[in-house]
Structure 1
Amino acid sequence: MFEQPRFQRQASPAHVSSNACRLDPQSCMFDGQYEPGERQFAEEEARRLNRAQVERLRRMAIH
């Protein structure tokens, strides 16, 4: 059986990765070495995604 890699550098459909992470959060954690600049990129992307989610939730609360 095909096994999903623990860390994918290619973007995958959000609903697929989101569902996989909900079922097994540890499977979405990267525990290897970062490439130069990758950690900073990941942290900035996490901040961007968190801000986008906050804005989405705010818009939902208004309507």
Structure 2
Amino acid sequence: MRRALVLTSEASRHWFRASLPQRRTAFADIPANGTIDWRLTAEDVRGVASTYFATVAAVFAFII
């Protein structure tokens, strides 16, 4: 018995996946015109710096 790898109908989806909410609701906060603010903030710099120093400290802890 051979089965197709691609579903031919959306009605034949798995019951659990059919009960999950649609994915489109996760992106509701993105503006419709497509403009996204990509400015670098102080919180971004602080996050990168703390991650960098934590990684350096962990590497030195394993070396020493």
Q: Which has the higher helix share?
A: 1
TM over 0.5: no
Normalised TM-score (structure 1) = 0.40
- Higher RCO (C-alpha 8 Å, min separation 6): 1
Task: Decide which structure has the larger Cα Rg and report it.
Answer: 2
